[in-house]
Amino acid sequence: MAGSWVDLAERIGADLHLDLAGPGGRRAVLTRTLREAVRSGRLAPGTRLPPYRSLAADLGLARNTVADAYAELVAEGWLVARQGSGTLVAHRAAPPRSPSPPPAAPAAPGRPARYDMRQGVPDPGSFPRTAWLASARRALNAAPNDAFGPGDPRGRPELRHALAAYLSRARGVQADPGRIVVCSGVAHALRLLCGGIVRGPLAVESYGLPFHRSILEAASVRTRPLAIDEHGARTDELSRERAVLLTPAHQFPTGGPLHPERRASVVDWARRRNALILEDDYDGDFRYDRQPVGALQDLDPERVVYLGSVSKSLSPAVRLGWMVLPERLVGPVLAAKGEREAWAGVADQLTLADFIEHGSYDRHVRRMRQRYRRRRDRLVRALAPHTTTGIAAGLHVVLNLPPEGEKRALEAAREEGVALDGLSPFRHPGAAMPALTGLVIGYAAAPDHAFGAALAALRRAVG
């Protein structure tokens, strides 16, 4: 039939192809094809169809054939014909929604979670949309043409220069732009480093993020846990490992910075052993009771890989992170990164660079630091007289409980509709230190209007 795969973009302002192949007369084929386009949603409700004379000319059909097809679909309720408005897809002809899958059975009896008090989740409602949009407009207008070409696996130079200046000023990092590699986050950085650059055995803190351990295990990197206490990781337990992964600014999840003597001792160990320190600057931006602790990397930039991201400070939806590397590792990391597929999006890189350079990032972090501190204070007051730790920084507190108390509190929290984490899952399976039990309670994600109710439900759950 003439006109098979006809493009109606010029007629209706959107791309739509009509495949007029198939059995049957011309009117029957056209009617069937238009009906299927409406049913599938390719022709959305309210879409204006071209006049039947124009469509007939485009398809090489008789006018009466198209007019009759329109009339049949109007009669069936798929289309509506209005004087002066032409022929439109009927609103009641919206394609039926696919049946929703049955809800997953809850992991344990209780109400669905109404309050998100999980650790590590920032306030999604506080994303600086207006300032981010302004930065995006400026950055894209100023971007050179080569920004939209093949690019550089290290990341856009605009972002690397902006990061070098910011990290040096705010975190005390010795950050040359040529030694910064942009990635999509700390997890991505670990995958790149453990893809043949960092080999086991690797020391890790006895309590940490389980998915970080799973990344190391997937790369066949054997880990050995270091005990932790109120001064951070016990770096005196390091021996013959090839590398160590630490959260020196704020040990995750128990809290507290790495003690100055331990910071010096781990650098001395790395020099003696020709080993590598992976510094995850977790919660480095959010310290409330005194100035943020500077980065460990400043003590020896040739022994420390500094890892950071905007997942807590801005949003986990902005998939941008960075590594500040010893000079000898830049080439191997770029080789591990490969060609293009693992690169972060250029538009977001350019936007973040402008966001930093215009001071918007600093203003946002300061504003959120004040907001999160107020929330932390409310949470600590609500939990009194229970003992809380790790409150000096970050987006969560740890509520210490006796061994049997963690399970009971989690069950009670589910009954109250509160989603939060227990402390036990963060323990390394090979840890020798006594087990810690309690709750890891995030205070950033719940919206302002629900925060008071979330605290009340949490207080009922923990007693």
**Which CATH code is given to the segment(s) 6-93?**
1.10.10.10
Is residue 80 within 8 Å of 45, Cβ to Cβ? no
| Cα separation, 333 vs 330, whole angstroms | 5
CA angle 313/319/321 to nearest 5° reads 65
Helix (H) or strand (E) holding 15: none
Distance CA 106, CA 122 (A): 24
Please give the Cα distance from 207 to 319 (Å, whole number).
Answer: 25
Distance CA 165, CA 357 (A): 9
Indicate left, alpha or beta for 7 from its phi (over 0: left) and psi (-120 to 50: alpha): beta
- Predicted pLDDT of residue 71: 85
For the domain covering 115-125+363-462, report its CATH number: 3.90.1150.10
DSSP state of 311: T
**From 3.40.640.10, 3.30.1370.60, 3.40.50.2000, 3.40.50.620, which CATH number describes the 129-358 domain?**
3.40.640.10
Q: Which residues of 287-303 are buried (b: 16+ CB within 10 A; e: fewer)?
A: bbeeebbbbbbbbbbeb
Query: How much is the pTM?
Result: 0.78
Residue 11: its pLDDT value, please? 55
Backbone φ and ψ for 51, nearest 5 degrees, come out as -55, 145
Residues of the chain with CATH 3.40.640.10: 129-358
**What are 15-39's pLDDT values in tens digits?**
556 777 777 788 888 888 888 888 8
Closest CA to 434 of 198, 206, 122: 206
Copy the structure tokens of residue 53: 């004379």
pLDDT at 199: 81
Q: Residues 6 or more apart from 319 whose CB is under 8 A from it? A: 184, 185, 344, 345, 348
- Of the candidates 213, 222, 150, the one whose C-alpha atom is nearest the C-alpha of residue 187 is 213
* Distance set, CA 337 to CA 157, 183, 214, 277, 280 (Å): 17, 9, 19, 20, 19
Amino acid at 434: P
Place of tokens 């192809």: 17
337-375 pLDDT per residue, tens: 887 656 788 999 999 999 999 999 999 999 999 999 999
As a whole number of angstroms, the distance between CA 386 and CA 375 comes to: 17
CATH 3.90.1150.10 domain span(s) along the chain: 115-125+363-462
Count, residues in the chain: 463
Buried b (16+ CB within 10 A) or exposed e, 234-250: bbeebeebbbbbbbbbb
Identify the residue whose tokens are 């007369």.
Answer: 25
Helix (H, G, I), strand (E, B) or coil at 441: strand
How far apart CA 310 and CA 446 sit, in angstroms, is: 19
Q: Where do we find the tokens 């941008």?
A: 320
Single-letter residue type at 281: D
Both tokens of residue 304? 């420390």
DSSP three-state, residue 68: helix
Mean pLDDT in order along the chain per 10 residues (463 residues): 53 62 82 86 85 83 88 85 82 52 42 84 93 97 92 93 95 94 94 86 93 89 93 94 93 90 96 95 82 86 96 93 96 86 84 97 95 94 90 92 92 94 94 92 92 94 88
Q: By C-alpha distance, which of 418, 454, 447, 369 is closest to 125?
A: 447
Q: Where in the chain is the domain with CATH 1.10.10.10?
A: 6-93
Cα–Cα distance, 50 to 144 (Å, whole number): 41
